[in-house]
Amino acid sequence: MRTTQDRIRHTLGFEIIGLVIFAPLASLAFGHDLFEMGLMALVGSIIATFWNYVYNLLFDHAMLRLRGDVRKTTLIRVLHALLFEGGLLLLFLPMIAWHLGISLWDAFVMDIAMSAFYLCYAFLYNLAYDRLYPIPNPTAQPE
C-alpha cells in the first residue's frame, strides 16, 4: 500500500500537471482565454475532489442500507462510475456555461472533451507515477 504522504504527492502532482497541460490545450481547442480556461479547470478540479469524497461516502451508505455490504460487483462498479460522472457533470455544467458565457450544449460538449482528456491523462499519469515511485511492498496491508 502507498503511504499517506505518497498519496498526497500523487494527488497534488496529478492536479498540478493536469492543469498545466489542460488549460493551454483547452484554450487553443475552444478559443477561450488561457486565464479563463485555467480558472475553470482549477475550480473543476476542486469541485471534483469534494464530489469524489461526498459521492463515495453517500454511495457506501446506500450500498450498506440496500445490500448490507459495501463490496461492489462489476455491474455495481460500472453503475458507480456512471453515477459519479453524471453527478459531476450536473455540478460542473452550469458553472462552465456561466463562467465562459456559453450555452449549456456548448458547455456539455466542452465537459465531454474535458472528461476524455482527463481519462487519457489519468491512465498515463498513473502509469508514469507507478514507474517513478514503485510501491515498495504491494501486498502489504494498510497500517
Residue 140, domain member (yes or no): no
Q: What is the pTM of this model?
A: 0.76
Residue 141, domain member (yes or no): no
What's the number of domains the chain is made of? 1
Q: What angle do CA 18, 34, 110 make, to 5 degrees?
A: 65
Residue 116, domain member (yes or no): yes
pLDDT tens digits for the chain (143 residues)? Answer: 678 898 889 888 988 999 999 999 999 999 999 999 999 999 988 888 889 888 888 988 898 899 988 888 899 988 988 898 889 899 999 999 999 999 999 999 999 998 889 889 988 998 999 899 987 776 666 55
Cell of 121: 491523462
Q: Which domain holds residue 58?
A: 4-132
Residue 142, domain member (yes or no): no
**74 backbone φψ class: left, alpha, beta (φ>0; ψ -120 to 50):** alpha
Query: CB of 20 within 8 A of CB of 31?
Result: no
Q: What distance in Å separates the CA atoms of residue 17 and residue 29, rounded to the nearest whole number?
A: 18
Query: CB of 45 within 8 A of CB of 15?
Result: yes
Residue 55 CB contacts under 8 Å (≥ 6 apart), including other chains: 83, 84, 87
